[in-house]
């Protein structure tokens, strides 16, 4: 064999070897993906440590009002997460196709929307047991009584639509069958256009503003907004009643069983009906739309956003995290005074307030500045060995609530009993609670005495959970 042929043989062997390695990597990745796909969904939630749900952002399902996360789907999800005994996290998009992508990629666990149960829908998700029903209606403006040439025709029957009419719909593949049936029943080749990223609520607003003439929405939702928008009409029904449900992916049988079991419980206890009426039959929902601090109509979180953003830079924190702390302390009320004499937006005790140059009469900007300076002070008091930025935030928030001395003592005790004194959840927070007992040594702590799913609920968790909601809804 000459030198040239020998080199060719070696090169071919190298290429073949590389190809084998690449194929092996691809196969192993596919096997891992399939293993993850087949993994029991409840087990996956337990391993992850929280329920990750998908929903959309609107006045009914998920929004902020004066700093408080609320919504029909949010309250249902919180109830289900409590049933599973895990924390809740949410991914929110108004594009249902994006939600389905996250669901089918096993990134998230379920879609929490009023999804119509249909034959086509069953190809996309496994539906839970139904928990309500509604119809689709045409949303249009009521006749003004002073008819002008520019005014759109008021449609009383489906067959009155003409080829020149355009009807707008939200981007939602679960309703495709209903839209096709509607076009067929109209008898005309009417134009139906999807508005990418638009929620039903946004389409309703466009109708009222005169930007569009007709839209298709769910009746129960349209009735809520009809209370607020007096010129709105939703009397033209275009489908029979249909049931709606949540959706999980096709490999989540164990999760589906848990959802259905929980739904049965909240139906029998009337919790489901109460949550529904709180949003779909309550005048206060219409009042949200009048507020400057409703996330659907405004990007404002509080009257003090500007000051919070400016001061948060001093400690390199996301301003929405500081805002969540302020909401926890005072609900954004600068004149708040507690039973323990803590005062102001940041609820500083008199000695702490004096140390940072404020009192109960200081301006809101001064109170926020003093509170952030106190956070910076607490950060300096914590040992440098707490290097994880996320854990450090937990410790600072806890120290803000109970004092740095108690936090340092709880770290020491956690270390004595073999827990990680640089981690908060399930470690130092546990011993902070143990120290609060009158006789903390009455029952000795051992590693075996720790509950497997122990999770502190309180000041730190509430702030961080609310912060995640702020991140979901309020722009940075």
What is the C-alpha end-to-end distance of the chain, expressed in Å?
A: 68
Mutual orientation of helices 253-268 and 271-280 as an angle, nearest 10°?
Answer: 80
The two structure tokens encoding residue 474: 């309020």
State yes or no: pLDDT of 17 exceeds 90.
Answer: no
pLDDT of residue 39: 55
Segment 100-133, tens digit of pLDDT: 999 999 999 999 999 999 999 999 999 999 999 9
The answer to whether 432 and 394 have CB atoms below 8 angstroms apart is: no
pLDDT-derived band of residue 13, with 50, 70 and 90 as boundaries? low
pLDDT of residue 6: 56
Calpha distance 425→430 (Å, rounded): 8
Segment 362-412, tens digit of pLDDT: 999 999 999 999 999 999 999 999 999 999 999 999 999 999 999 999 999
Taking residues 270-279, what's their average pLDDT?
96
Strand-pair partners of 184? none
The answer to whether 348 and 358 have CB atoms below 8 angstroms apart is: yes
3-state secondary structure string across the chain: CCHHHHHHHHHHHHHHHHHHHHHHHHHHHHHHHHHHHHCCHHHHHHHHCCEEEEECCECCCEEEECCEEECHHHHHHHHHHHHHCCCEEEEECCCHHHHHHHHHCCCCCEEEEEEECCCCHHHHCEECCCCEEECEEEEEECCCCCCCCCCCCCCCCHHHCCCCCEEEEECCHHHHHHHHHHHHHHCCCCEEEEECCCCHHHHHHHHHHCCCCEEEEEHHHHHHHHHHCCCEEEEEECCCCEEEEEEECCCCHHHHHHHHHHHHHHHHCCHHHHHHHHHHCCHHHHHHCCCCCECCCCCCCCCCHHHHHHHHHHHCCCHHHHHHHHHHHHCCCCCCECCCCCECCCCECHHHHHHCCCCCCCCHHHHHHHHHHHHHHHHHHCCCCCCCHHHHHHHHHHHHHHCHHHHHHHHHHHHHCCCCCCCHHHHHHHHHHHHCCCCCCCCCCCHHHCCCCCCCCCHHHHHHHHHHHHHHHCCC
> pLDDT: is 93 or 15 the higher one?
93
pLDDT of residue 148: 57
The answer to whether 89 and 62 have CB atoms below 8 angstroms apart is: no
The answer to whether 421 and 390 have CB atoms below 8 angstroms apart is: no
pLDDT of residue 163: 85
Residue 77 burial class via C-beta count within 10 angstroms: exposed 0-12, middle 13-18, buried 19 and up: buried
176-184: long-range contacts, CB 8 A cutoff, minimum separation 24: 176/120, 177/118, 177/119, 177/120, 178/116, 178/118, 178/136, 178/238, 178/239, 178/242, 179/216, 181/239, 182/136, 182/158, 182/216, 182/238, 182/239
pLDDT-derived band of residue 444, with 50, 70 and 90 as boundaries? very low
Cα separation values, 358 from 69, 172, 319, Å: 30, 53, 21
Taking residues 78-86, what's their average pLDDT?
96
Taking residues 451-456, what's their average pLDDT?
36
Segment 286-303, tens digit of pLDDT: 778 888 899 988 889 999
Mean of the per-residue pLDDT values of the chain: 87
State yes or no: pLDDT of 265 exceeds 70.
Answer: yes
Structural domains for the chain: 43-132+244-288 (3.40.190.10), 136-240 (3.40.190.10), 305-473 (1.10.530.10)
């Amino acid at each position: 064999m000459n030198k040239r042929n020998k080199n060719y043989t070696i090169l071919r062997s190298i290429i073949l070897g590389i190809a084998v390695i690449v194929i092996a990597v691809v196969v192993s990745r596919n096997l891992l993906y399939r293993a993850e796909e087949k993994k029991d969904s409840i087990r996956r939630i337990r391993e992850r440590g929280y329920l990750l749900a998908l929903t959309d952002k609107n006045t009914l399902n998920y929004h902020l009002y004066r700093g408080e996360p609320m919504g029909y789907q949010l309250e249902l999800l919180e109830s289900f997460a409590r049933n599973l005994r895990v924390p809740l996290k949410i991914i929110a998009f108004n594009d249902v196709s994006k939600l389905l992508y996250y669901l089918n990629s096993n990134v998230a666990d379920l879609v929490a929307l009023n999804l119509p149960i249909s034959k086509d829908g069953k190809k996309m998700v496994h539906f839970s047991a139904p928990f309500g029903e509604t119809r689709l209606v045409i949303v249009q403006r009521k006749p003004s009584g002073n008819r002008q040439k520019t005014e759109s025709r008021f449609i009383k029957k489906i067959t009155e639509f003409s080829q020149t009419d355009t009807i707008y719909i939200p981007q939602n593949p679960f309703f495709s069958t209903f839209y096709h049936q509607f076009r067929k029943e109209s008898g005309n080749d009417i134009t139906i256009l999807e508005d990418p990223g638009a929620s039903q609520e946004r389409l309703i607003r466009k109708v009222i503003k005169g930007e569009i003439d007709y839209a298709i929405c769910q009746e129960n939702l349209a009735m809520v907004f009809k209370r607020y928008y007096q010129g709105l009409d939703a009397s033209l029904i275009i489908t029979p009643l249909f049931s709606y449900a949540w959706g999980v992916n096709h490999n989540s049988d164990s999760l589906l069983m848990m959802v259905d079991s929980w739904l049965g419980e909240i139906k029998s206890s009337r919790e489901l009906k109460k949550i529904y009426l709180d949003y779909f039959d309550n005048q206060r929902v219409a009042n949200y739309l009048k507020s400057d601090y409703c996330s659907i109509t405004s990007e404002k979180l509080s009257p003090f956003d500007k000051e919070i953003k400016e001061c948060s830079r001093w400690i390199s924190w996301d301003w929405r995290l500081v805002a969540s702390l302020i909401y926890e302390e005072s609900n954004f009320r600068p004149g708040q005074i507690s039973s323990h004499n803590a005062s102001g937006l940041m609820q500083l005790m008199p000695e702490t307030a004096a140390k940072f140059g404020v009192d109960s009469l200081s301006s809101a900007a001064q109170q926020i500045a003093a509170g952030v300076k106190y956070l910076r002070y607490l950060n300096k008091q914590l040992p440098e060995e707490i290097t994880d930025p996320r854990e450090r935030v937990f410790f600072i928030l806890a120290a803000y609530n109970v004092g740095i001395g108690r936090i340092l003592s709880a770290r020491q005790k956690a270390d004595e009993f073999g827990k990680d004194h640089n981690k908060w959840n399930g470690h130092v927070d546990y011993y902070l609670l143990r120290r609060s007992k009158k006789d903390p040594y009455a029952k000795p702590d051992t590693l075996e005495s720790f509950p497997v799913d122990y999770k502190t609920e309180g000041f730190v968790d509430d702030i961080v959970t609310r912060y995640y909601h702020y991140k979901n809804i309020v722009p940075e």
